[in-house]
Amino acid sequence: GIPAGPDKKKIVDELTPDEDDIFLTKWRYSAFKKTNLLEILNEQGKDQLIICGIYAHIGCLLTACEAFMDGIEPFFVADAVADFSLEHHKQALEYASNRCAVTTSTNLLLNDLQSVK
């Protein structure tokens, strides 16, 4: 997991949630386990999920797989997921793109989001 200490867990100012943002604590590898993420997505009529974060081949990948199995289209942001090694990172991207997610980059995703506004 993430090393102990508040300096290791701090969210950078640019990503600090606003009061209107939904904040979930992730308890298992998949963000859907032991959370109400699926219910939130369903209640809001959302059928897509942008995935970024650390441990691409573990938590990010399992979240993408579970989203896919629950009818949510996952977008796996290749340059916004990190891992223990380049090998693990590549494995996660390959698995996601071949089986359960649209793999994209931050720039492509931002351009796509701007075009649908």
Q: Which residue has the higher pLDDT, 8 or 87?
A: 87
Task: Report strand pairing: 48-53 vs 102-104.
Answer: unpaired
Q: Convert the pLDDT of each residue in 60-77 to its tens digit.
A: 999 999 999 999 999 999
Instruction: Find how far residue 4's CA is from the centre of its chain.
Output: 22
Q: Determine the Cα angle at 68 with ends 67 and 73, to 5°.
A: 85
The residue assigned the tokens 């590898």 is 29
In the chain, where are the structural domains located? Answer: 47-117
Q: Convert the pLDDT of each residue in 18-60 to its tens digit.
A: 999 988 889 999 999 999 999 999 999 999 999 999 999 999 9
- Enter the pTM of the model: 0.88
Which CATH superfamily does the domain covering 47-117 fall into? Isochorismatase-like (3.40.50.850)
pLDDT of residue 3: 67
Quickly list DSSP for 6-74.
Answer: HHHHPPPGGGPPPTTS------SSSTTTTS-HHHHHHHTT--EEEEEES-IIIIIHHHHHHHHHTT-EE
pLDDT of 1 higher than 70 = no
In this prediction, residue 107 has a pLDDT band, given cuts at 50, 70 and 90, of very high
pLDDT of 7 higher than 90 = no
pLDDT of residue 94: 98
